[in-house]
Amino acid sequence: MVIRILKRLYSSLIYLFLYAPILILIIFSFNNSRSRGSWGGFTLKWYGELFKDSQIMSALYYTILIAAFSSLIATIIGTAAAIGINGMGRRGKNLVMNLSYIPVLNADIVTGISLMLLFILIKLQLGFVTLLIAHITFNIPYVILSVLPKLKQLDNNLYEAALDLGATPWYALLKVIIPEIMPGIITGALLAFTLSIDDFVISFFTTGSGVSNLSITVYSMARRGVNPKINALSTLMFIAVLSLLFVINVRANKKPQRKGDVN
């Protein structure tokens, strides 16, 4: 009994240490005073001023645009890659999977600098296009790792049965394989969207003048002093990312319906 209480107390202290700063940030986003050391009353004015700030609204526009396009393209490429990897032999699959793990395990600063040097080498001007390519690049491995488990659960005879019944390979892919692995595809797309919104380091090295996402904007604003609008913006970003992660976890933990179950 005592050990159980100590375990719960320890876990509670860990979570308190992790989330107390975020909780304080959220509370002070409603503080009427600009001071971080005193409470001046409840207000929503910082949220109002946040949406009137053209710099922040521009960053929000680019953040959502980049996240939407990069997650869509990365999902298409990653799903196709996962299907191809699943059909490889053991040695080829292990080799490609190890290559897919490298961008995930690699430090963001290394990836960011490497992509920046590549864009400079091929004389591609840093801006919206380079930022989009960078986000697609680091999102693809996460999509692959989300789709592959669903492919491993798939009955290999389904595709062959569809071909035997007269379906073309493309029709069998769209009507048989894709619907079966759709939960993994959606999870990968949501994860890619979340990572794109949250990214700072890679974006910092691969963007150019006039194109900035929310993470870079928050960093530049914080360097000039902590503005209460940053608290409001960070609160909204935290809620958005938390909501997406919640959806991802729900979909990942959802048990597949048995084939014999009646709808």
For 68-81, how does the pLDDT look when each residue is reduced to its tens digit (9 = 90+)?
Answer: 999 999 999 999 99
Question: In whole angstroms, what is the distance from residue 25 CA to residue 238 CA?
Answer: 10
Q: Residue 98 pLDDT more than 90?
A: no
- Is residue 207 left, alpha or beta, with left meaning phi > 0 and alpha meaning psi from -120 to 50? beta
Residue 71: per-residue pLDDT:
94
3-class DSSP assignment, residue 33: coil
3-class DSSP assignment, residue 250: helix
Considering 68-82, 204-218, 224-238, the range whose residues carry the highest mean pLDDT is: 68-82
Torsion of CA 82, 86, 91, 94, to 10 degrees: 40
Find the angle CA(211)-CA(227)-CA(201) to the nearest 5 degrees: 40
Helices first, then strands: H and E counts in the chain: 12, 0
Confidence at 40, pLDDT banded by 50, 70, 90: confident
Q: 31 pairs with which residues across the strands?
A: 42
Token representation of residue 17: 């240490």
Q: Residue 43 pLDDT more than 50?
A: yes
Q: Which of 106-115, 143-152, 200-209, 239-248 has the lowest mean pLDDT?
A: 239-248
Q: How does DSSP classify residue 42?
A: B
Instruction: For residue 151, give the nearest of 199, 194, 88 by alpha carbon.
Output: 88
Q: Residues 102-127: pLDDT tens digits? A: 888 888 899 999 999 999 999 999 99
Q: Kindly report the CATH number that applies to the domain delimited by 40-251.
A: 1.10.3720.10
Question: In whole angstroms, what is the distance from residue 179 CA to residue 185 CA?
Answer: 10
Q: How does DSSP classify residue 254?
A: P
Backbone angles phi, psi at 174, to 5 degrees: -75, -35
Compute and round to an integer the Cα radius of gyration of the chain.
23
Whether the Cβ atoms of residue 211 and residue 131 lie closer than 8 Å to each other: yes
Q: For the chain, give the mean pLDDT.
A: 84
- Is residue 225 left, alpha or beta, with left meaning phi > 0 and alpha meaning psi from -120 to 50? left
Question: In whole angstroms, what is the distance from residue 104 CA to residue 151 CA?
Answer: 20
Q: Residues 174-207: pLDDT tens digits? A: 888 888 888 889 889 988 998 998 889 999 999 9
Q: CA 167 → CA 155, 157, 164, 170, 174, distances in Å?
A: 17, 14, 7, 8, 10
Token representation of residue 72: 């869509």
Instruction: For residue 79, give the nearest of 168, 165, 179 by alpha carbon.
Output: 179
Q: 42 pairs with which residues across the strands?
A: 31
User: Would the pTM count as exceeding 0.95?
Assistant: no
Token representation of residue 35: 């001071």
Whether the Cβ atoms of residue 234 and residue 218 lie closer than 8 Å to each other: yes
Residue 69: per-residue pLDDT:
95
Domain boundaries, the chain: 40-251
Q: What is the DSSP annotation of 58-95?
A: HHHHHHHHHHHHHHHHHHHHHHHHHHHHHTS-HHHHHH
